Amino acid sequence: MRFGRGGPNARGMTVVTRFAPSPTGRLHVGNIRAALHNWMFARGQGGRFVLRIDDTDAERSEERFVDAIREDLAWLGLTPDAEVRQSERFGLYETRFEELRAAGRIYPAYDTSQELDLKRKIQLGRGLPPVYDRAALQLSDADRARLENEGVRPHWRFRLDDDAVVEWDDLVRGHQRFDPKTMSDPVIRRADGSWLYMLPSAIDDIDLGISHVMRGEDHVANTALQIQMFAAMGSTPPHFAHAALLTGSEGKLSKRLGSLGVDQLREMGIEAQAIRALLARLGTSDPVEPVVEMAPLLATFDFGRFGRAPARFDEAELAQLNARIVHQLPYEAVRDRLPAGVTAEVWEAVRPNLSTVAEVQDWWQVIEGPITPAALSDDDRAYLALAADAAEAIDWGADPWHQLTGALKGSTGRKGKALFLPLRQALTGRDHGPDMAALLPLIGRDRALARLRGA
């Protein structure tokens, strides 16, 4: 049972990818990366991107998380072409279930969790792989009837074909081979009738025409099992790509990555473009760059560029990338998020000093005032008194900063830091900041004179 690598359109069909989150919490960094890869591949190939809400677990699924998933994808710009919900597809699953059951590929198992745990411990103690022994298949009709009369309800397992070694060419990991004799028949349905992930996912991939499945390498063993399910249902499986998992900056799997969600990133002031730019290239041979538009990222998206080593997610790198993205954002892209009164001129002046868009509020306060004066020496205060007189005499309609500093350089002999820093401190209350040539006209003549005289 082997499936070739093939190109994106090797089967002469439209590329269709899917992102399948469970609505049991907010999307986290790993989810976002999977969604982005699937969206990018579909868009780059002129295909379709499907959002599948995996809400078969009625107890844990919440509608507020369904809404949050939609909102997060929309904010990230990862708009799906279609949405389906597994909770609305139970009839389809039931039909396939009965077909597979009639074909002998699904069977009831009555083992309790305690019995299964004991069997695993015994196998491990003997140095054997903890593979289910198919004890349920040894039960007679009378045995099953007795158990049912005692109130024992079975869970259901998919019976693997032991003679069909599973092989496929993974788009990231290369050739993969699994011997079904080393794997347990997977449980696909609980005793209460509720569904587990494996079979409904395969059924949906067939029904929705999914051509490519991109997910984390923790699903590789699941893929081997699902390939047999595709074969049992008479269907060719999709192409599979399993990306290496993310690790934290400390070099090991981080619990924080499992909880760092889109909502938190937004609260931190991270731009959607920064998230996309980082996660699109993380784990590939391409450099991470502050790319604002998606076109360059789509043009270079290639499974051959993905490595096998874990991909390192560093929040500090994301923050630095975010600042570089913010420095490129035009006024029109951010105007709805700026404080009232902030003009394009203000944005252009302060933008190079921002790490997040929200920080514009700090510089708007510097422009509008009041500011907290810096502590100055007696010499600097005397110098600023001269600066106030010079500022009153210059033409404020023509580059006041260079007029002011030019006049003071000639009258005081100061230059460099001694010339510029006291002026910046008196006018802004800060030691560093935006280019004063751009900032001073925004502060304006009256406020500038008051600050220089007040210093």
Bind-site residues: 255
CA atoms within 13 A on the CB side of 6: 18
Handedness of CA 390, 392, 394, 399 (dihedral sign): positive
Binding-site residues from annotation for ATP: 255
Collect all residues with Cβ–Cβ distance below 8 Å to 392 and sequence separation of at least 6.
449
| 3-class secondary structure, 249 | coil
Strand, helix or coil for residue 238: coil
Residue keyed to tokens 């006018």? 427
| H or E element in which residue 187 lies | strand 187-189
Task: Decide: 39 and 267 in contact? Cβ < 8 Å.
Answer: no
Report the distance separating Cα 170 and Cα 238, nearest Å: 11
Measured distance CA(242)–CA(34) in Å, rounded: 10
Sheet holding 82-85, edge to edge: 16-19, 48-53, 82-85
Which letter does DSSP use for residue 234 in this model? T
